[in-house]
């Protein structure tokens, strides 16, 4: 049975109905849970223990057992049954604040929910889902499909490829496998008879009436507007492939480039997304590109090759580990996009590099906010490499990532604040209300503390489209 766990802190003598913090925290939790998509599908670690920003929580990642053969006289091989501790730092303080001016407190509870709580918490839900879905970049090495090529013709094949990839990664068959698409990828799926024709689906036309894709090829098909949908427009260095390159290729002969591409940049080769590990040039123009992850598809001669021109970090002191606010960047002529992958490296990329995504909607040619605080320090003028255009669909098992939620402590007594913390179904929300005499209104702040961490790099995959 689900239940609420509540701690209430009050330093006001009077109780105005509109400003009971328990009400704000409780209603906010209801709205938050109803609007979360991806965040309800990952491992969510929660304890009703107060925490502070920067605290570390140790999540448990169970070991996987493997059978061992023995001869008649052998002793059994004893395997370690303990789980591995994975530290998750609570370094995301998610909050929304708004002012309710004098006179508005007379509104009904329903009006307060509709006017303030619902839009405020929906924004927090969007942010939290972006934070979870933004981890897709860390699984980009487990990709199928070709960016910019998802259509009613290729949709079935890409899903079958995704299923095969999941089997190769040894995903258990009895666990939920969500495949979270953006709205464009969903529309391509819905344009396929395989997904909506009642005689194919066997759902008596439900998919056609409700635009529900249901379960296909072992995946639970879901749509989220917070999933990566990267449009064209970034500054490119472009050419084409010279000759056909078979599946498994990492070295591509290219033609048509003016100037050179750089190690560390993202590149799209016929829609296959990877990062550049080496290049060669003739007379100052790139003629060969080596990529980190081999293509699983044949790439025809004349296929488009687009290398994404990086920007640079623009802060003389650089940024330390744990930096969680906006990062100042320079030399971009086109703004990065929400959901776009980002790396910060001028060196040869590896499969274990930190890959971030842009999460903040205040993105510009001079500023980006990432899905999580920096795990590695970045120096001034470091390259800011952007991921290619395309639709990115993300599938993962529950234990691929941990979303850690902890309640925040209430303000100290005597500060003139009323506060309550409500916890429900592994979520928590603090509501704090103060009065602003200058602005003549009550300031309401809704917040919680969170951290996100990949637990198992083989439990997620990306379908390019």
Mind listing the pLDDT tens digit for each residue in 241-285?
999 999 999 999 999 999 999 999 999 999 999 999 999 999 999
Instruction: State the chain's mean pLDDT as an integer.
Output: 87
Beta partners for 406?
A: 449
Percent residues over pLDDT 90 in the chain:
62
pLDDT at residue 327 above 80? yes
pLDDT at residue 65 above 80? no
What is each CA distance from 462 to 11, 25, 173, 350, in whole angstroms?
50, 36, 18, 18
Q: If one looks up domain 5-68+81-135+402-450 in CATH, what number appears? A: 3.30.2400
pLDDT at 17: 55
- Could you give the CA distance from residue 32 to residue 168 in angstroms, rounded to a whole number? 36
- Could you give the CA distance from residue 332 to residue 337 in angstroms, rounded to a whole number? 12
pLDDT at 6: 45
Residue that wins the pLDDT comparison between 8 and 160: 160
418-424/383-386 β-pairing: unpaired
pLDDT at 47: 77
Cβ contacts of 67 within 8 Å, gap of 6 or more:
none
pLDDT at residue 209 above 50? no
- Could you give the CA distance from residue 139 to residue 171 in angstroms, rounded to a whole number? 14
What's the maximum distance between 2 C-alpha atoms anywhere in the chain?
85
């Amino acid at each position: 049975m689900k239940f609420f766990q509540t701690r209430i802190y009050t330093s006001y003598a009077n109780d105005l109905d509109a400003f009971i913090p328990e009400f704000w925290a409780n209603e906010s939790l209801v709205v938050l849970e109803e609007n979360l998509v991806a965040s309800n599908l990952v491992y969510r670690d929660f304890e009703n223990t107060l925490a502070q920003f920067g605290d570390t929580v140790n999540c448990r990642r169970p070991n996987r057992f493997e059978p061992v053969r023995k001869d008649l006289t052998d002793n059994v091989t004893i395997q370690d049954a303990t789980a591995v501790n994975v530290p998750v730092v609570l370094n995301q303080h998610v909050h929304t604040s708004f002012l309710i001016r004098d006179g508005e407190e007379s509104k009904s509870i329903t009006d307060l929910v509709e006017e303030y709580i619902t839009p405020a918490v929906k924004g927090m839900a969007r942010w939290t889902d972006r934070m979870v879905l933004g981890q897709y970049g860390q699984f980009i090495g487990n990709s199928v499909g070709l960016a910019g090529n998802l259509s009613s013709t290729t949709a079935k094949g890409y899903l079958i490829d995704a299923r095969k990839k999941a089997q190769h990664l040894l995903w258990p068959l009895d666990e939920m496998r969500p495949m979270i698409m953006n709205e464009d990828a969903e529309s391509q799926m819905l344009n396929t008879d395989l997904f909506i024709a009642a005689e194919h689906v066997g759902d008596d036309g439900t998919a056609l009436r409700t635009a529900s894709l249901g379960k296909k090829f072992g995946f639970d098909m879901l749509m989220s507007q917070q999933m990566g949908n990267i449009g064209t427009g970034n500054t490119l260095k472009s050419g084409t492939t010279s000759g056909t390159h078979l599946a498994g290729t990492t070295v591509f002969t290219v033609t048509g480039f003016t100037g050179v591409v750089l190690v560390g940049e993202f590149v799209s080769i016929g829609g296959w997304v990877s990062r550049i590990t080496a290049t060669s040039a003739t007379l100052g123009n790139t003629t060969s590109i080596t990529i980190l992850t081999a293509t699983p598809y044949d790439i025809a001669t004349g296929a488009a090759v687009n290398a994404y021109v990086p920007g640079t970090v623009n802060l003389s002191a650089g940024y330390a580990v744990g930096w969680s606010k906006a990062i100042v960047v320079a030399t971009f002529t086109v703004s990065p996009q929400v959901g776009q992958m980002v790396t910060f490296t001028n060196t040869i990329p590896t499969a274990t590099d930190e890959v971030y995504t842009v999460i903040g909607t205040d993105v510009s040619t001079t500023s980006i906010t990432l899905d999580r605080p920096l795990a590695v320090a970045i120096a001034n003028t470091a390259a800011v490499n952007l991921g290619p255009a395309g639709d990115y669909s993300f599938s993962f098992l529950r234990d691929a990532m941990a979303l850690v939620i902890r309640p925040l402590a209430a303000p100290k007594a005597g500060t003139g604040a009323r506060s309550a913390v409500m916890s429900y179904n592994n979520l928590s929300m603090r509501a704090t209300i103060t009065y602003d005499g200058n602005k003549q209104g009550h300031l309401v702040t809704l917040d919680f503390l969170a951290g996100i961490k990949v637990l198992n790099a083989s439990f997620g995959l990306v379908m390019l489209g």
